[in-house]
A and B are shown apart, each in its own frame.
Chain A
Amino acid sequence: MKKLTSLFSNSRTFQSVLILLIVLCASTSLYLMDKSVTSFLLLLCSFLLLYYTTFSNWIKWGVGALIAFAVIPVAASGGPSQQVYMEVAVMAGIYIAMALGLNIVVGFAGLLDLGFVAFFALGAYVYGIFASPQAQALFQNSSIFPLGGESFWLFIIIGALVAALFGIILGVPVLRVKGDYLAIVTLGFGEIIRIVFNNLDKPVNITNGALGISGIPQPKLFGFTFTQSSHIYFVVLIVLGFVIYAVRRFEDSKLGRSWKAIREDEIASQAMGIPLVKTKLWAFALGASFSGMMGVLFAAKNQFVDPTSFTLLESITILVMVILGGMGSVPGVILGAAIISILNLQILTEITLFLTQNLHVPEVFSPAKMQRLLFGLVLVGIAIYRPQGLIPAKNKTYKIADLKAKLTQKKGKSKETTTSI
């Protein structure tokens, strides 16, 4: 095993051969077999392997994009269960993006948000209300509603803005006081949003109450409607790509470094001149906006929203993704989100099916019902034994010599300019 890992980390040919082999094997078996969860998982594992190769970042991203955009959709299209795989991939993508959003709040800024799904719900309902016939009922004498599927692209931005706005409204009173209150306030907020959406069918019917809003249009672009999961998949990929890019940029920016400083020591960072409330509010609003964005996507994919999709369990699920993968670590959070969402959507249901159908185990023992136990164990276990998560966060390192060289260069330049003047 040790030999193998050393071989893997030293030889690039070995790396590329291994990945090629895995991708080929997994995709052909996925293409040929009707329903093979194993090969689907193997295909996804190639991303993880890719992350650990020693190629330059450009090659990694290129190959990753190739697998995501070309290999997976083609390989999955082989059998009748194509839409099942694509559905799982779409949901995993949505969860990954949300987990990355939560990672800004929990991982970078160190603020515990237990009601993250509220922002997801806001995004979903904003699109759901205005794009579906629900809006017609709301504004009876207006002819612009319902906005069709073409408005989806605009609503991705609107959803993000609305969620960010609510994040700020909630954050302003809470972030001024101690950090631990935030956990309980967000917990309450998540619950309140659900209750409000559940009851906002009177006096004016805005959300259609517990029945939910149906008939939400699917995204449309130049006359093409994204009807199937395999179509939405590409939308999710593009949004996810944007989210990953944005999060990475934020992480190394001045703002990102202030978040981490606050996480490590509030008082010291305040003494260094970081505005505490403003920086925390940014984290809160940005994290919320990613969640709102994915809410819009979720509503468009399901064509239906109702309050039961936005329970506390969902918030905790996203938190588990961040904690499992590693707080503050972008690749870790992606891995954690992928593991948990695939576990939730495929593996647990498969095991449950197998147990109840083949072994006739009573339904009480079905693992699909034990999500809470599972998540609880993950949270406690990680907190005690591996608080840094599966892939620990790495801070960008700066070589002092390089920095000094840059500095002297700059100084030299500025001197030149001053002397020339």
Chain B
Amino acid sequence: MQEILSTLPQVLLDGLTLGAIYAVVALGYTMVYGILELINFAHGEIFMAGAFIGTALLFGFVDIGLALNWVTLVLVLIFASLLTGVIGVGIERVAYRPLRTAPKLIPLISAVGISFILQDVVRFVAEYKTGNYIVTGQTIFENKIAIPAFSVGGYEVHASAIKSNTLIVIGIAVLIMIVLDIFVNRTKWGIAMRAVAQDRATAALMGINVNKVISLTFFIGSAIGGATGVLYAQQYATINPFIGFILGLKAFTAAVLGGIGNIRGAMFGGLLIGLLEVFAAANLGILTGGALGAEYKDVFAFIILILVLIFKPAGLFGQAVKEKV
């Protein structure tokens, strides 16, 4: 108990950071699923592409002698999200739109294919440019804010430290979520998006340009996914072309946990899974007496997914949907 508690502030902070990243990536899954009923397997790879684009841009900025500060970070975020947004729209146009009327299995296969193509293209470019596909990027905000040790009710709590970057990650992620929530619930385009998600044919009859709305959904989902990639690269410094796969899996779990198609649910699910994962990584060894170590942290998200599917397939905030015949 003492051991767990003493590291708790650090665990909570790390968990919140990771959870914020999962939450934003989960938004991309949930938006696309809500509107097309398609698991966009390539979304994790778009996140990864965002991380690489951001890192490449920062390298470029350093080369031309720009100072790395607030302005560069904002520039990189904007550029990377625009680019990944365009990639997302392109993927939808090339690989999903022709298959909209096909049996359900076919677009899933196409999505898996796209995700493999993205992985390999990024790997190729990275390896060609740097000689190694594992890339360590530039970190803009490296200074740490220390939180001193203190004791609560007789329990010692160790000192913990936050990278100032952590605050930025959490801040931007929260900002993205709030803006998206307002966009979907308050604006005209947001209403159109929800209408298409509810009933595509009727929405079209009401004068909504369905293809445009779907493209917009992909753009937004991919853009925020790419921006999160940039934040991830800032936070963890080392990236490789395969980070998107397992992270995508966890983000999808977050989306299912929150009720797929439900945007607020995805945010909550992401935070919960991030916290659980970091808690497990830090304390699994202590709780099981050393039998299970931090290696099993990836198993957690998966077990949560299975449990949710058994006991509450509609997710925590979703409504059970009856299939239309």
Contacts and interface: CB of A to CB of B under 8 A. Distances in A.
B79 interface: no
A379 B309 contact: no
Contacts of B175: none
B39 A196 contact: no
Interface stretch (A72-80, A84-92, A124-132, A172-180): A172-180
Interface in A342-393: 364, 370-373, 375-384, 387
A96 interface: no
Interface stretch (A59-67, A146-154, A183-191, A410-418): A183-191
Nearest to B310: A173
Contact of B99 (A178, A192, A375, A383): A383
Given A110-B103, A191-B249, A372-B119, A380 B299 contact: no
Contacts of B298: 191-192, 195
B120 A370 contact: yes
B40 to A, nearest CB: 11
A202 to B, nearest CB: 7
Nearest to B241: A372
Contacts of A387: 102-103, 106
B66 to A, nearest CB: 29
A370 B117 CA distance: 9
Given A184-B252, A199-B295, A378 B325 contact: no
Nearest to A111: B105
A184 B94 CA distance: 23
B116 A195 contact: no
Interface in A208-266: none
B124 A364 contact: yes
B287 interface: no
User: Could you tell me the dominant secondary structure of chain A's interface residues?
Assistant: helix
B146 interface: no
Given A195-B296, A380-B95, 13 more contacts: A110-B103, A112-B108, A180-B104, A181-B256, A187-B249, A188-B249, A199-B296, A319-B109, A371-B120, A375-B116, A376-B113, A383-B95, A387-B102
A379 B114 CA distance: 8
A97 interface: no
A311 to B, nearest CB: 10
B62 interface: no
Nearest to A198: B295
Given A191-B246, A372-B119, A183 B108 contact: yes
Nearest to A183: B108
B270 interface: no
Contacts of B302: 185, 188-189, 191-192
A312 interface: yes
10 contacts: A110-B103, A110-B105, A188-B302, A202-B291, A376-B117, A376-B118, A377-B117, A379-B116, A383-B106, A384-B95
Interface string B298-319: 1101100110011001000000
A383 B110 contact: yes
A296 interface: no
B115 interface: yes
Nearest to B242: A312
A267 interface: yes
Q: How large is the interface on B (under 10, 10 to 19, 20 to 34, 35 or more residues)?
A: 35 or more
B105 A106 contact: yes
Nearest to A204: B291
A199 B115 CA distance: 28
Contacts of A319: 109, 112
Interface of A: 106, 110, 112, 114, 173-174, 176-181, 183-185, 187-189, 191-192, 195-196, 198-199, 202-203, 267, 312, 316, 319, 323, 327, 364, 370-373, 375-384, 387
Contacts of A376: 112-120
Given A112-B105, A377-B113, A183 B39 contact: yes
B199 interface: no
B279 interface: no
Nearest to A383: B110
A203 B289 CA distance: 10
Interface string B217-252: 000000000000000000000000000011001001
Contacts of B127: 364
A123 B99 CA distance: 36
B87 to A, nearest CB: 14
A210 to B, nearest CB: 10
Contacts of B38: 180
User: Considering residues A110, A112, A188, A378, which has the most beta carbons from chain B within 10 angstroms of its beta carbon?
Assistant: A188
Contacts of A114: 112
A179 B120 CA distance: 28
A380 B306 contact: no
A106 B118 CA distance: 24
B96 to A, nearest CB: 10
Given A188-B302, A370-B124, A387-B106, A199 B117 contact: no
B11 to A, nearest CB: 21
Nearest to A187: B249
User: Considering residues B94, B103, B245, B323, which has the most beta carbons from chain A within 10 angstroms of its beta carbon?
Assistant: B103
B291 A372 contact: no
A374 to B, nearest CB: 8
Contacts of A372: 116-117, 119-120, 123
Interface in B103-147: 103-110, 112-121, 123-124, 127-128
A177 B115 CA distance: 25
A373 B103 contact: no
B105 A380 contact: no
A203 B290 contact: yes
List of 7 A-B pairs having minimum Cβ-Cβ separation, nearest first: A379-B113, A376-B116, A376-B117, A373-B120, A383-B110, A380-B113, A372-B120
Contacts of B123: 372
Contacts of A312: 245
B156 interface: no
Contacts of B305: 184-185, 188
Interface string B39-56: 101000000000000000
Contacts of A179: 104
B105 A196 contact: no
A246 to B, nearest CB: 23
Given A379-B116, A380-B117, A373 B325 contact: no
B98 A384 contact: yes
